[in-house]
Amino acid sequence: MANRAGFSTQSSDSISYLSQREAAEIDEILMGPLGFSVDQLMELAGLSVAAAIAEVYRPSEYSRVLAICGPGNNGGDGLVAARHLHHFGYTPFICYPKRTAKPLYTGLVTQKCLHIADIIQLESLGVPFVPVEDLPADLSNVFDIVVDAMFGFSFSGTPRPPFDELIRRLLSLGNHDKTQKESPIIVSVDIPSGWHVEEGDTTGEGIKPDMLVSLTAPKLCAKKFCGPHHFLGGRFVPPSIVHKYKLQLPPYPGSSMCVRIGKVPKIDISALRENYISPEFREEEVEADPFDQFRKWFDDAVAAGLKEPNAMALSTSGKDGKPYTNYESRKARELSENPCASLLFYWDGLNRQVRVEGFVQKVSGEESEQYFHSRPRGSQIGALASKQIGVGQSGSLKEAWLTCCSVNHPRTIVHEQSFTETDQSAKWCAS
């Protein structure tokens, strides 16, 4: 089943969960007969974690990320995730208390040496390493996301220093009201650190992550995860392992590195908000000709790689003056009754929109034919199959007003005069 974001979801009942022994066995098979190297697997695991975070928490709102990395490969996943998050536009910080100083020239390709490569790469990106003693006792207000990469499936017993104290700090965050922005989101890599790998949070006093990114396949403790976002990552499991362990895992959509497990949480629409951060839109920077302004912004939208930058909402209204948007069966009739219409180009990502208002005129049959043949085959079939959209009903704006505005600086710049296809001279004025 595909959700709104195009991600497939699967009921957690039909998913396989691994025991600690199975997880370790799979690790050995991957890195033994199947020829994977630890850095290959870790790269894919860390990328999955970063992809899952980016799927839910945008860098514009959750930029400051603290990755707390443990001594094993779970910690390595955290380092790799931090590197990818840096490239995704976040500002990561690393706390890596058991950072090993073993140099590469020992010649031993151990996991510790590979972690050193990760450290070098992060340092070259200017990602700061924060000593544990320099971390604030209260992590709220300082970070937006804490990536818990302390322990994975090889954890046992109770956490030893300094991780016991770090886990306590994450626990105290759980006491904050998460609707108050200052409390960071906790993202656990593979296992919520401190939880029993199979039995989960046995005392009920362990950390309560907001997001869990299970790797390869969820471990048994993930059954107890009650947070809103459970993802699966580590898109490298070959069929031989799937068959041997009879794994039931959700399919990854398209080229995605992660897939959501379980339902998309219900969203409180009233709580949705976006902090628009974009350059100021100043009157003196506006092109004298609205067509030039539109062309400039349209080119920006294309260059930014926005999906379908030419997509627009066409609003019309009938005799009764009621507006309709995307209600195609009525559009043609309404336009013949009342040729006033408006177009809205909304370019999310650039925080810009352009609104065009004006009068619409039917194009000639010849122009319409030309347009029809320029469309993809699927659209042509759709148009022919639809009783509602006739081939000759395309229109063009003959006279229009443009309103361009930057969403965070809603100083609208309005084209005062109407213009026509032949007379495209235009003048702007601020309102």
Residues placed in the known binding site for K(+): 74, 148, 193
Residue 148 binds K ion (CB under 5 A): yes
The alpha carbon torsion through 328, 333, 335, 337 (nearest 10 deg) reads -150
User: Which residue in 10, 22, 30, 85 binds ligand LZDS7PUF (CB under 6 A)?
Assistant: 30
User: Which residue in 9, 17, 22, 41 binds ligand LZDS7PUF (CB under 6 A)?
Assistant: 41
Query: Which one of ligand LZDS7PUF, K ion, none is in contact with 193 (Cβ closer than 5 to 8 A by kind)?
Result: K ion
**Whole-number minimum distance, CB 126 to ligand LZDS7PUF, in Å?**
24
42 burial level (CB within 10 Å; 0-12, 13-18, 19+)? buried
d(CA 416, CA 53) in angstroms, rounded, equals 45
**Whole-number minimum distance, CB 221 to ligand LZDS7PUF, in Å?**
11
159-178 residues in contact with ligand LZDS7PUF (CB under 6 A) are 159-160, 163
CB-based contact 167:201 (threshold 8 Å): no
Q: Which stretch binds K ion (CB under 5 A): 2-10, 42-50, 181-189, 308-316?
A: 181-189
Which residues are documented as binding site for (6S)-NADPHX? 73-77, 152-158, 190
Would you give the end-to-end CA distance of the chain in angstroms? 47
d(CA 362, CA 388) in angstroms, rounded, equals 16
Nearer to ligand LZDS7PUF, 157 or 204 (CB): 157
**Whole-number minimum distance, CB 123 to K ion, in Å?**
23
Nearer to K ion, 159 or 358 (CB): 159
Residue 22 binds ligand LZDS7PUF (CB under 6 A): no
Q: Residue count at the site for ligand LZDS7PUF (CB under 6 A)?
A: 32
> Tokens 């951060």 — which residue?
277
User: Which residue in 48, 73, 183, 193 binds K ion (CB under 5 A)?
Assistant: 193
Residues in contact with ligand LZDS7PUF by the rule CB under 6 A: 23, 26-27, 30, 41-42, 45, 70-77, 151-160, 163, 189-191, 215-216, 234
